[in-house]
Amino acid sequence: MQQRDYYEVLNVSRTAGEDEIKRAYRKLAMQYHPDRNPGNAEAEQKFKEAAEAYDVLRDPDKRVRYDRFGHAGVQGGAGGFGSAEDIFSHFSDIFGDFFGFSSSARGPRAMAGADLRYNLTISFEQAARGDEISLNLPKRAVCKDCNGSGAAGDSKTEACRRCNGTGQMRRSQGFFQIAMPCSACGGTGRIITRPCPRCKGEGVVAEVRDLLVRVPAGVDTGTRLRVRGEGEPGVYGGPPGDLYVVLTVEPDKRFQRDGQNLLFTQEISFVQAALGHKTDVPGLDGPLTLEIPKGVQSGALLRLAGEGLPYPGRNRRGDLLVEVRVLTPTGLSEKQVELLREFEKAGEEKPLEKVKRAAKKIKKAMGID
């Protein structure tokens, strides 16, 4: 029987890229998989044919030889799949990618360690100025006695007999197979003859790590600080996870916070509001002088630009907003009451009456009737 062109089998062009070839093979493998076509010899033949074509075209060296010499260039390097099980074993990595399961026969994959979260409460002053804080972080770490292998120094590891060292056991599910971690070796593919006394064969130990974390100035509640590599150790040689320090900032007794702006309430008297006033208000770096204009109304906001909180990582600060609150006097003396009534009366006097009264005073001073 004459062999078909591999590009024709996968229905791709001769310039198709690796991803396109992979997708084409996936489509055919799903369509003609024996579990979907039980007892169908034609479907099984097409399944094998697609696998043979993919085996050549996915390999750069085989593909070059095939493009130059045709099937003769890859004789002995393609085909030979006796059954669907052989195909699945040969392409276990790609079937794992397709169906979301790891089905590799090369043993367990290296995996990154889990991330850790640490909740940290800091004062308003620490948030405003920044700080370096020492943490005592309970975590798991790679056992130093066995370097994470789980085996004692002079012991050996043997291939797991149950999974033949693959770390996985296959089982059929529907029209495809999935691989599950071997329960005998925990997915490692190896059996430890004598476990490490310190970690009991787990390769990791519990410890408390002293860690210095830098808190930048201007942070707020909910800020997450990422410390790379300080999470749980990786599995099977994978990198460690990260540590996320989540901040809670305690409130301040003087200021209310609105982002990077601060709000402060300053109480003044009725007279100070009417005549204007100069006073000191608290700031992050010490007392600040505030000019209160004449006739200011209660509830007015006066801005001191650049006297708020820093923006983390930027050479910029928010503002200090001072809310003026005019106090109403209480417990007045008779003299104060009399003066206020005269003040009120003067405010109610009509302009014409003011002129007549002033003219009368002038005439009297000049002796004119």
Kindly report, residue by residue over 280-300, the tens digit of the pLDDT. Answer: 999 999 999 999 999 999 999
**% residues pLDDT > 70 (the chain):** 81
Q: What mean pLDDT do residues 245-257 have?
A: 96
Both tokens of 127, joined, read 């948030």
Q: What mean pLDDT do residues 70-79 have?
A: 69
Does the structure show a pLDDT above 50 at 104?
no
At residue 97, the pLDDT reads: 47
Q: What mean pLDDT do residues 273-278 have?
A: 91
Is-contact 127 220, C-beta < 8 A? yes
CA distances from 37 to 33, 47, 269, 292 (A): 6, 10, 92, 88
> Would you tell me how many other CB atoms lie within 10 Å of the CB of residue 264?
20
Does the structure show a pLDDT above 80 at 349?
no
* Chain segment 15-42, per-residue pLDDT in tens: 999 889 988 998 888 888 776 777 788 8
Confidence of residue 66 (pLDDT cuts 50, 70, 90): confident
Domain extent listing, the chain: 6-90, 116-249, 256-326, 334-366
278 against 94, higher pLDDT: 278
| The residue count for the chain | 369
Does the structure show a pLDDT above 50 at 99?
no
| Separation CA 302–CA 264 (nearest Å) | 10
At residue 73, the pLDDT reads: 75
* Residue appearing with tokens 């209310």: 256
Does the structure show a pLDDT above 60 at 363?
no
Q: What mean pLDDT do residues 152-159 have?
A: 80
Does the structure show a pLDDT above 90 at 347?
no
CA distances from 255 to 252, 308, 347 (A): 6, 10, 38
At residue 287, the pLDDT reads: 96
Reply yes or no on domain 116-249 having CATH 3.40.50.1970. no
56 against 102, higher pLDDT: 56
Confidence of residue 103 (pLDDT cuts 50, 70, 90): very low
Q: Which residues pair with 313 in a beta bridge?
A: none
Reply yes or no on domain 6-90 having CATH 3.30.470.20. no
Give the DSSP H or E segment for 343.
helix 334-348
| Separation CA 329–CA 335 (nearest Å) | 14
* Chain segment 167-215, per-residue pLDDT in tens: 777 776 555 566 677 888 877 778 888 889 999 888 889 999 999 999 9
Arithmetic mean of pLDDT over the chain = 83
Say which CATH class 256-326 falls into: mainly beta
At residue 150, the pLDDT reads: 85
Q: Is 287 exposed, middle or buried (0-12, 13-18, 19+ CB in 10 A)?
A: exposed
